[in-house]
């Protein structure tokens, strides 16, 4: 296998860590020195090599531990995975998309053999081998969406398209940034985005919905989103706010570099062939400030973005209470030098072309 999987935790003792390779390929979300909401969609095309954009569904060193954390969350709260009855076909669509993609992009880790509707799936990292009949849920231990998303990093919302809107009618959500699938299930696009400040009056969601409803099977799209979190906790759900909310008050000038994390979501959008549903994977990446500032361009830029962000966005992004400490820490890494355009490190920061592909 080409990936060395970490043995780490995302709760309790928080042993999560990023290797130097993981730091170099982190999907830094800011392409300039300031930030405001926008419909920042782009085609989900492959490349650059070695980045999370190089494949359809990124698998990295955190894969095995993330799947173990998902299983813990589902054992504690099975309602983190829900699918309304009319979404079963979309679940089979999603299973096919993920299995075919992983087997093609990581042939050393995943194998899919198909003989008509008789399928044979092998997931080597998780030690899973399953023979099943495509379209027959009785041949799987879970429904099709739950079965495959227990083996795929990130959250998954599956959106039904009807009445000129998108409806969150199915999902697997265990690593979300303070929103609840159980609360949002059955809501339309505008309803589940209602808490977001500023964006509605700017017309962001109206433009985004128009774009998403025209995503075709051969034109998947992507965008990056971000927030901040204390400690490398995947499950920052409203249901468990009593566990992670108090952790915001543990940040000090001495520990902010290690405990404060930038949380980035690689969001992709896929039109599913049989159901015409829209698959909406939300892949979470975490990096603490100490590791992030090892890339000088990112340290300079994050300081400027967080320093100048409107107060209501700082509150919505989850770091208002610690903003002074965070900005003061980051200021030490901002020498005032100009930053280059785009999200990637400069050649003098990290030679990205030296990061092996899919490591």
Give the active site residues. Answer: 223
CA dist 231 and 209 (Å) reads 33
Q: Is 42 exposed, middle or buried (CB count within 10 Å of its CB: 0-12, 13-18, 19+)?
A: exposed
What DSSP string runs through 63-94?
HHHHHHHHHHHHHH-GGGEEE-GGGHHHHHHH
Q: Is 186 in a helix, a strand, or coil?
A: coil
What is the longest distance spanned by two Cα atoms in the chain? 61
d(CA 11, CA 143): 27
Dihedral sign computed on CA atoms, order 216, 26, 225, 188: positive
CA distances from 144 to 85, 89, 251, 274, 276 (A): 12, 9, 41, 14, 16
CA distances (Å), origin 154, targets 17, 33, 59, 133, 190:
17, 27, 10, 26, 22
Cα–Cα distances (Å) from 210 to 11, 69, 277, 339, 342, in that order, read: 38, 35, 15, 33, 26
Both structure tokens of 259: 């405990």
Distance CA 325, CA 341 (A): 27
Reference 275, options 132, 144, 113, 154; nearest CA is 144
Name every residue whose Cβ is closer than 8 Å to that of residue 103 and which is 6 or more positions away in sequence.
110, 111, 112
């Amino acid at each position: 296998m080409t990936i060395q999987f970490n043995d780490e935790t995302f709760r309790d003792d928080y042993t999560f860590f990023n290797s130097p390779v993981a730091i170099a390929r982190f999907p830094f979300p800011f392409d300039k020195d300031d930030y405001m909401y926008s419909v920042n969609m782009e085609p989900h095309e492959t490349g650059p090599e070695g980045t999370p954009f190089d494949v359809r569904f990124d698998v990295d060193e955190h894969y095995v531990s993330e799947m173990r954390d998902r299983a813990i969350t589902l054992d504690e709260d099975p309602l983190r995975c829900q699918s309304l009855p009319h979404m079963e076909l979309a679940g089979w669509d999603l299973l096919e998309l993920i299995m075919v993609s992983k087997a093609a992009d990581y042939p050393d880790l995943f194998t899919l053999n198909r003989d008509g509707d008789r399928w044979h799936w092998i997931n080597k990292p998780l030690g899973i081998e399953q023979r099943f009949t495509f379209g027959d849920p009785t041949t799987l231990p879970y429904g099709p969406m739950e079965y495959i998303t227990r083996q795929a990093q990130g959250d998954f919302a599956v959106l039904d398209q009807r009445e000129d809107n998108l409806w969150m009618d199915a999902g697997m959500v265990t690593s979300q940034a303070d929103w609840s699938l159980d609360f949002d299930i059955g809501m339309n696009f505008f309803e589940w985005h209602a808490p977001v400040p500023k964006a509605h009056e700017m017309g962001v969601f109206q433009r985004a919905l128009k774009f998403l409803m025209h995503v075709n099977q051969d034109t998947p799209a992507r965008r990056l989103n971000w927030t901040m979190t204390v400690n490398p906790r995947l499950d920052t759900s409203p249901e468990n706010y009593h566990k992670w909310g108090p952790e915001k008050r543990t940040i000090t000038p001495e520990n902010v570099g290690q405990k404060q994390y930038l949380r980035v979501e690689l969001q992709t959008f896929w039109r599913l062939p049989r159901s015409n549903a829209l698959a909406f994977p939300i892949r979470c990446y975490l990096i603490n400030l100490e590791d992030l500032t090892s890339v000088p361009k990112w340290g300079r830029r994050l300081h400027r973005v967080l320093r100048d962000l409107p107060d209501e966005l700082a509150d919505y992004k989850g770091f208002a209470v610690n903003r002074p400490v965070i900005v003061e820490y980051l200021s030490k890494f901002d020498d005032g030098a100009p930053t280059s355009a785009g999200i990637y490190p400069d050649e003098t920061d990290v030679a990205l072309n030296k990061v092996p592909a899919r490591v």
